């Protein structure tokens, strides 16, 4: 695709894509991200359209699908807009025996346990965050739980208290 074709696409469809995406996403910046995604998909595909109506229908369907994908993404479910975050206070550092024990774990175990148990991410998602495989993260979680059990049982003179890890 050449520069003239790309310019034609932007002139013909950018307003329409932005309007559709805005109605789905309710934020201008999200609509702009969707618009970029749709244009990238268009520019990187090898599909040829019968006519302009076919092309327009593909653009509309792709825009709607991008919006739906964005709304159901894990990132979107677990984040808040920046302006909403400004109203929140920084949470106090968790105190307690379990929190102190978690701090004693090696970095990979500590991070995996925190992301899994406190933030609710799956081993696969954690693996994507830290650049490790899902199996490696599962091993970190398993070894981290064992180390936590050992750390917590040391403080109880050999007996393990009813602390759920």
Model pLDDT for residues 74-110, shown as the tens digit of each residue:
776 667 666 666 666 655 555 678 888 888 888 889 8
Lowest mean pLDDT among 32-46, 49-63, 81-95, 128-142: 81-95
Query: Residue 97: what pLDDT?
Result: 83
How far from chain centre, in Å, is Cα 81? 14
Which pLDDT does position 33 carry in this prediction?
A: 92
Q: How far apart are CA 32 and CA 27, in angstroms?
A: 9
Scan for tokens 């950018």, then name that residue: 14
pLDDT digits (tens, 9 = 90+) for 104-158: 888 889 889 888 988 888 999 999 888 899 999 999 999 999 999 998 888 655 4
CB 119 within 8 A of CB 78: yes
**Three-class SS of 62-84:** HHHHHHHHHHCCHHHHCCCCHHH
Tell me what the mean pLDDT of segment 17-40 comes to.
89
Task: Answer whether 86's CB lies under 8 Å from 111's CB.
Answer: no
- The answer, yes or no, to whether residue 160 has pLDDT greater than 50, is no
Supply the pLDDT for residue 159.
46
Using only the alpha carbons of the chain, give its radius of gyration.
24
Q: Is 16 exposed, middle or buried (0-12, 13-18, 19+ CB in 10 A)?
A: middle
Q: So what's the pLDDT on residue 110?
A: 87
pTM exceeds cut of 0.85: no
């Amino acid at each position: 695709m050449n520069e003239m074709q790309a310019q034609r696409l932007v002139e013909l469809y950018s307003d329409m894509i932005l309007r559709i995406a805005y109605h789905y996403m309710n934020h201008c910046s999200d609509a702009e991200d969707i618009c970029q995604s749709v244009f990238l998909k268009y520019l990187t595909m090898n599909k040829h359209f019968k006519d302009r109506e076919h092309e327009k229908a593909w653009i509309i369907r792709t825009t709607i699908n991008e919006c739906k994908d964005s709304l159901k993404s894990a990132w979107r479910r677990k984040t808040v807009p920046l302006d909403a975050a400004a109203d929140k206070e920084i949470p106090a550092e968790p105190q307690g025996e379990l929190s102190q024990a978690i701090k004693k774990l090696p970095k990979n175990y500590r991070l995996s346990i925190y992301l899994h148990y406190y933030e609710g991410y799956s081993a696969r998602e954690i693996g994507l965050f830290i650049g490790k495989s899902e199996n490696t993260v599962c091993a970190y979680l398993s070894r981290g739980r064992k180390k936590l059990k050992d750390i917590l049982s040391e403080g109880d003179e050999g007996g393990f208290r009813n602390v759920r890890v």
